[in-house]
Amino acid sequence: MVKVLNVLGARPNFMKMAPITAAMARRTGELSQVLVHTGQHYDDAMSSSFLRDLDMPTPDINLDVGSGTHAEQTARVMLAVEPVLVAQRPDWVVVVGDVNSTLACALVASKLGIRIAHVEAGLRSFDWTMPEEINRVLTDRLASVLFTPSEDADANLRREGLSPDRIVRVGNVMIDTLMQHLERARRSPVLAELGVRPREFAVLTMHRPSNVDTPAALRHIVTVLGSVAGRLPILFPAHPRTQARLREHGIALPPGVRILEPMGYVEFLGLWSQARLVLTDSGGLQEETTALGIPCLTLRENTERPITVTQGTNRVVGSDPERIAAAVAAVLNDATEPAARGVPPLWDGRAAERIVDALLARTRVV
């Protein structure tokens, strides 16, 4: 029996881990799993509601590390997870994405000689000012198996000198989750409750420090939102830290931009999947909008998911108001339905099954 310890940290991890835990639950004769929640996101809006929405089991262990600086949070996770790994002695530790919990658990597992599987390996923004880039690169160095979502991720890992034997392209687990919940999400009453009709609104998400922590940068984006909202109302489910920065900097949103509290996964999917346009600095939404053929404008100067630009509906526009306004105009002036330039291979809803198959196969040959 193969024993796997799966790690959850921040909210983006939940959508990536949900199909993996479900796929493992279907293989109980071959493996057992332990679900550890580090508590990096810990309030109901950012954590518990997502677990319920995604039909995930209650974590077996919650480390309750809470918030703090990057160093504090990483250190707390390391200190809390070490005795868990010593007690559990799993065959594999599975970490997903690029949050602090991902790297912290990988570091501890590596020092204990426990094999690490990194889901969503090989993504690179090549921007070392992003904490996520540091987490991604270091976790990939430590992992025994690198589960990648796309060919560009494979190429990044090969270019960095990592052995091709460690690289397994499985597809995108985010798309597994999207496909599983899309029909239910579109039955959600969220549009009626907000008084909007399909394809007649935009959705905005924004939380990255480069956009919200500097008053000048935040004001630039808010200014251009006013001109966009003159043509298309904007619904803005705002991250708690973004709401806090708006208050701290004394920045008021313009008319036509409606701020909403954070939503559960299914409710939010029901909202953005029927939008005319999505503006975001999130990584996952770049992928999800590509899968559904919805125009996405990424409010960053780079992306670790270039496949969504070359083979999707994403456009990287940064935070410059003129670039954002021009990109919005280009989308809204196109009366045709947005058409994806093709969904990347293996983004078919079966990535988690391929992950479980690969873990079992690699355990047997050791």
Between CA 78 and CA 80 the distance in angstroms is: 6
Query: Greatest CA span in the chain, whole angstroms?
Result: 61
Contact 304, 128 (CB under 8 A): no
Between CA 189 and CA 336 the distance in angstroms is: 26
Between CA 203 and CA 183 the distance in angstroms is: 19
Return the half-sphere exposure (C-beta side, CA atoms, 13 A cut-off) of residue 5: 25
Question: Which are the contacts of 335, defined by CB distance < 8 A and separation ≥ 6?
Answer: none
Our measurement of the distance from residue 121's CA atom to the centroid of its chain's CA atoms, rounded to an integer in Å, reads 13
Token digits of residue 148 = 């990648």
Helix (H) or strand (E) holding 41: none
Q: Which one of 37, 207, 239, 249 is the catalytic residue?
A: 207
Q: Which residues on neighbouring strands pair with residue 117, listed in sequence order? A: 94, 145
Query: CB atoms < 10 A from the CB of 358, how many?
Result: 15
* Contacts of range 332-339, beta carbons closer than 8 Å, 24 or more positions apart: 332/231, 332/232, 332/276, 332/277, 337/293, 338/293, 338/294, 338/295, 338/313, 339/293
Residue 41 bears catalytic tag? no
Q: What end-to-end distance do the CA atoms of the chain give, in Å?
A: 14
* Residues designated as active site: 207
